[in-house]
């Protein structure tokens, strides 16, 4: 009981994990994604689905992280690919989550971390506009497909390799879902809503990137 209370406070607004969510530390945010996945799947918290939902929410927010390594790690966690000991049931559940879950958040990390301030210290108007865009509820699969499309346009070889690995793991989770009989998943429901012209997304993504290096940080 005390453990549940302690864990629940960590993920609440103003908690320690919320601070990590907005840190300019790639490894810390990667570790946060893995932690959120582990706690949200912990059987000891089966009687506290509210806590699991909160940690899932933090994990889903990391899908909007401007850094590719953090975003890709969050995708792999959602898919159930964390280590070499993953089960088919977990991979199938990961595909179900990816195609069914909706991201709802009051504030996205990509908006807060990238508030470019003007000379007088006030956030610029463009950063406020981006923040309002990311607050809209969006399907996870839509966010992932947009991010992958943007990554495959990159000229960085590590980014391309990491994006290809994510696609490979998506295929494995999809295969597990169909092998276990989850054929009722409507895979095209959200994918078709992705606009053909994603230039605005690419521009926002490039402008909101963390000042960390990319090529040296994508080695999983």
What angle is formed at CA 136 by the lines to CA 141 and CA 26, rounded to 5 degrees? Answer: 65
* Contacts by 4-8, CB closer than 8 A, 24 or more apart: 4/45, 4/48, 4/51, 7/39, 7/45, 7/51, 8/48, 8/50, 8/51, 8/54
Residues of the chain with pLDDT under 50: 3, 108-123, 190-216, 220
Residue range 101-112, pLDDT digits in tens: 988 755 544 444
CB atoms under 10 Å from CB of 65, counted, come to 27
Residue range 83-138, pLDDT digits in tens: 776 788 889 999 999 999 988 755 544 444 444 444 444 445 555 555 555 567 88
Asked if residues 145 and 126 have their Cβ atoms less than 8 Å apart, the reply is: no
CA distances from 145 to 2, 10, 87, 139 (A): 40, 30, 24, 10
Question: In the predicted model, what is the mean pLDDT of the chain?
Answer: 74
Instruction: List CB contacts of 160: < 8 A, sequence separation 6 or more.
Output: 151, 152, 154
């Amino acid at each position: 009981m005390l453990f549940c209370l302690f864990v629940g406070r960590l993920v609440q607004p103003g908690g320690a994990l919320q601070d990590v969510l907005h840190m300019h530390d790639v490894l810390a945010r990667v570790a946060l994604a893995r932690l959120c996945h582990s706690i949200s799947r912990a059987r000891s918290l089966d009687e506290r689905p509210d806590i699991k939902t909160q940690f899932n929410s933090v994990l889903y927010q990391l899908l909007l992280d401007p850094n590719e390594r953090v975003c890709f790690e969050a995708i792999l966690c959602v898919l159930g690919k964390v280590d070499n000991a993953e089960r088919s049931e977990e991979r199938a559940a990961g595909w179900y989550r990816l195609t069914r879950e909706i991201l709802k958040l009051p504030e996205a990390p990509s908006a807060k971390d990238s508030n470019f301030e003007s000379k007088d210290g006030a956030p610029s108007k463009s950063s406020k506009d981006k923040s309002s865009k990311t607050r809209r509820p969006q399907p996870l699969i839509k966010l992932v497909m947009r991010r992958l499309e943007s990554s495959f346009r990159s000229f960085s070889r590590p980014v391309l390799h990491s994006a290809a690995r994510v696609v490979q793991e998506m295929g494995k989770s999809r295969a597990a879902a169909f092998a276990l009989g989850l054929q009722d998943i409507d895979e095209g429901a959200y994918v078709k809503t992705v606009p053909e012209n994603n230039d605005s997304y690419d521009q926002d993504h490039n402008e909101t990137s963390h000042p960390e290096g990319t090529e040296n940080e994508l080695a999983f």
